[in-house]
Chain A
Amino acid sequence: MAYAVEMRNITKRFPGVVANQDVTLQVRWGSIHGLIGENGAGKTTLMKVLYGMYHPDGGEILIDGKPVRLKDPKDAISHSIGMVHQHFTLVGSLTVAQNIILGKPICKKTGILDLDRANKEVERLGEEYGLPVNPKAFVKDLPVAMQQRVEILKVLYLGADILIMDEPTAVLTPQEIQGLLNTLLLLKEKGKSIILITHKLRELMSVTDDITVLRGGVVTGVVKTSEASEKRIASMMVGKEISFEVPKDVAKPGEEVLKAEHLYYQDKFGVTMLNDVSFTVRKGEILGIAGVQGNGQTELIEVLSGMTTRYQGRIVFGDREIRQSDLPLKRREAGLGHIPEDRQTMGAALAATLLENFIMGGLSDLEYTSPGMISYSKAATVAKGQYEHFDVKYASLGEPAGALSGGNLQKAIVAREIYRNPQILIAAQPSRGVDIGATMFIHEQLIKLRDAGKGILLVSSELGEVMSLSDRVIVMYNGAIVGEVDPKNSSEEELGLMMAGMKGGHS
């Protein structure tokens, strides 16, 4: 029997990055196939290729044994492929039934939508697959788990026999996850094939039949679930990375410089993103926060830096109590520096010049400002010196920041934040999308800052980075801190298990 899906030697390149290199994926009919890997391993890219959203640079795709060309999602749909996206693609102001029938409307003979029939059809579909929904409810009023149900029904309604599920459990509570996994098993029973993308090991082990592991855009393992162990998959996933050996002395931590106590935060949808987070950073140490992206790290940084003020809990910088209403300016004055994870929108104004970018956050720097005024020429001298020191390559300070390559821009941001001489530096994903040379350089600078007695909070989803730089590591999962490890005395495997939600590495 032919495979439901066979992707042969798929290669997909983006400018400067190879997202998929010679990837082969074989999914049997009526099975659940797990696709696992770290962030940036190329899972989503591969699936977007299968759904016709990206066009591969090499390789071929076979559906039910027949080679196909998928130009757009419509082609994929007509080959009965459906995709449940990580970020739901639903229209909030429409009802459940309207969302489901959008791609293939049900009409009366007059051309008017037959909403009664649509409602009945949706109800029937929901019952058939054990996904009961209220077809008349508005999607925006539904909780996340329910929206996901709508998303799955939408795909089934369009006649999908092959379902791609992109990180479906990322947004669900443990009980909801169990419900979803049951649904997947039911779908399998009905003869559908499912490709499940995840980086949570336990789920993977409990429902899948086969597993393909991706790392850095290449397949690092294909196993039958029944023959695999969690540990083995974790090591295939994390791999023996080239650990960036950063020469560093033993930390000599001093007094506490950043203290966070019982931080709680709910996002605008009312989902709890931070759940009783407490930790301290001391002078002269790097505290690493490891975790799969989306487990509350971004929100933690927003809370600490004052980009959001709708949190609860206590924050202390050095001996200065930070009030909840304190805006970023106050927090900067209290000694905070911040290398943001999103350098394109928060870390820089791409249309502004390099010099203007350098000045940000330093409006009280006496080197180049006087009351009310900025001397751009003095600032240029300072910026030139600092950029040179940080090896930022640019044509002129007058060119827009957007003209710099990713690595250079990141170096410029690091240079700016370190120049402000912060007592506490939040470094979020400091080496994301940056080449090895620049990464090494940034790491050296962070160590240097640590040795100068500053406190550094390093947040990264790159395990290797956290392990090699940090003096202590805490792991975040689902908005809470699930454990602390000593990076010198623990294996990446152990950490990988913690990141996948298995506390202490034991399931």
Chain B
Amino acid sequence: MLDLGILGVTMRMATPILLAGTGTLYNDRAGVTNITLEGSMLLGGFFAVACSFFTGSWVLAALAGIATGIIVSLVFYFLTSICGGDELVVGFSMNVLLDGLSIFLLKQIFHQSGSLVDERIVGVPQISSEVLGGIPIIGDLFNGQTWIVYFTFAFALLTWVILYRTPFGLKVLACGESPQAAATVGVKVLRIRFICNLIGGALCGLAGVQISLGFLSLFTQGMTVGRGFIALGSVVFSKGNPLRLIAVTMFFGFAEAMSNRVQLMQLPSELVLMLPYLAVVILTFVRFDRLKKIKGMKDQEAC
């Protein structure tokens, strides 16, 4: 059960969560509460499948997914920042709306209800190399993954650099934590937030592509099954740090990989499916700040 193959599955499962999480991280750090990630992923996944179906090109499909995410984030920005909508309310109702829209379009374009499976849908190819596969652990982790997986982890690392080592990142951090501080030295807060919103949308769209074309090359209604909210939770738990986000999402990816794996055995699948969600709830109760404090006190005692 615990062979190294599970590492690869963990990576695959962690990818959409990490991708959407990274996008939302930009929003989070810039002070935007955008909870539309579930809906963007779903609709992004849908348009990727639709585009793949019609054009047969996974490149165009991925672009369609990203474009969808960007459009969704533009609508969100318009409704909240321009029209004065409440971020939580608009985010919530957009999730409902996008879920409904994916089903509606599925029915109206493909005359399918429930799911779309067709051999014309081209999935995102997996990259395998014997050299890579030969390396222990690294091979297990990275061999036979889609390029989205590589991109995701690379971009999450890059995000750390962007946030903490570039002028743009510096401005993002300032806007989120103290908009006045940013404004008094002449940083344009609304523009920074707009850019973050776009990045968030694009990455959520791509996360949808990984779910629909990276796993199985099909679309099912509601196929994101709360991964967007798990990603949201991950951002909250990681306190906006990209490296911590990678760790948290890997943990959730592992929980999901375990549930896939354990299902094949005699364990009740329902309980196992519950794992990732339960993990999020349990994580809410772990008070990292308090742990740190206790550890600090112990260190002091040791001195």
A residues near B (Cβ < 8 Å) are: 72-74, 77, 83, 85, 89-94, 98-99, 101-105, 107, 111-113, 115, 154, 158
Contact = CB atoms under 8 A, between A and B. Distances in A.
12 contacts: A74-B186, A89-B184, A90-B178, A90-B181, A91-B173, A94-B174, A102-B187, A105-B170, A112-B161, A113-B165, A154-B185, A158-B185
B243 to A, nearest CB: 15
Contacts of A89: 178, 180-181, 184
A46 B170 CA distance: 31
B182 interface: yes
A99 B167 CA distance: 11
Interface residues of B, number: 18
A154 B180 CA distance: 14
A154 to B, nearest CB: 7
Nearest to A74: B186
Given A72-B186, A73-B183, A112-B161, A94 B170 contact: yes
Nearest to B188: A74
Interface string B170-214: 110110011011111111000000000000000000000000000
Given A90-B178, A92-B177, A103-B185, 8 more contacts: A72-B186, A73-B184, A83-B184, A91-B178, A99-B181, A102-B181, A103-B187, A111-B166
A93 B177 contact: yes
Which residue of B167, B170, B178, B184 has the most chain A CB atoms within 10 A of its CB atom? B184
A110 B180 CA distance: 29
B173 to A, nearest CB: 6
A113 B174 contact: no
Q: Which 8 pairs, one residue from A and one from B, show the smallest C-beta to C-beta distance? A: A103-B185, A74-B186, A105-B167, A89-B181, A89-B184, A91-B174, A91-B178, A91-B177
A94 B173 CA distance: 8
Contacts of B184: 73, 83, 85, 89
A111 B158 CA distance: 14
Nearest to A113: B165
A73 B173 contact: no
B25 to A, nearest CB: 14
Which residue of B166, B167, B177, B183 has the most chain A CB atoms within 10 A of its CB atom? B167
B163 to A, nearest CB: 11
A327 to B, nearest CB: 25
Which residue of A72, A85, A93 has the most chain B CB atoms within 10 A of its CB atom? A93
A98 B185 contact: no
Contacts of B180: 89
B288 to A, nearest CB: 15
A91 B174 CA distance: 6
Given A90-B178, A112-B166, A113-B165, A77 B173 contact: no
B170 A77 contact: no
A44 B20 CA distance: 44
Contacts of A83: 184
Contacts of B187: 102-103
A99 B177 CA distance: 12
Contacts of A99: 181
Contact of A102 (B161, B165, B166, B174): B174
A310 to B, nearest CB: 18
Contact of B167 (A72, A77, A107): A107
Contacts of A158: 185
Contacts of A103: 185-187
A102 B180 CA distance: 12
A24 to B, nearest CB: 26
B170 A113 contact: yes
Nearest to A140: B177
Contacts of A107: 166-167
A10 to B, nearest CB: 21
A91 B185 contact: no
A93 B183 contact: no
A98 B182 CA distance: 12
A38 B158 CA distance: 52
A111 B178 CA distance: 24
Contacts of B161: 112
A383 to B, nearest CB: 32
Nearest to A106: B167
Contacts of A92: 177-178
Given A73-B186, A94-B174, A103-B187, A113 B181 contact: no
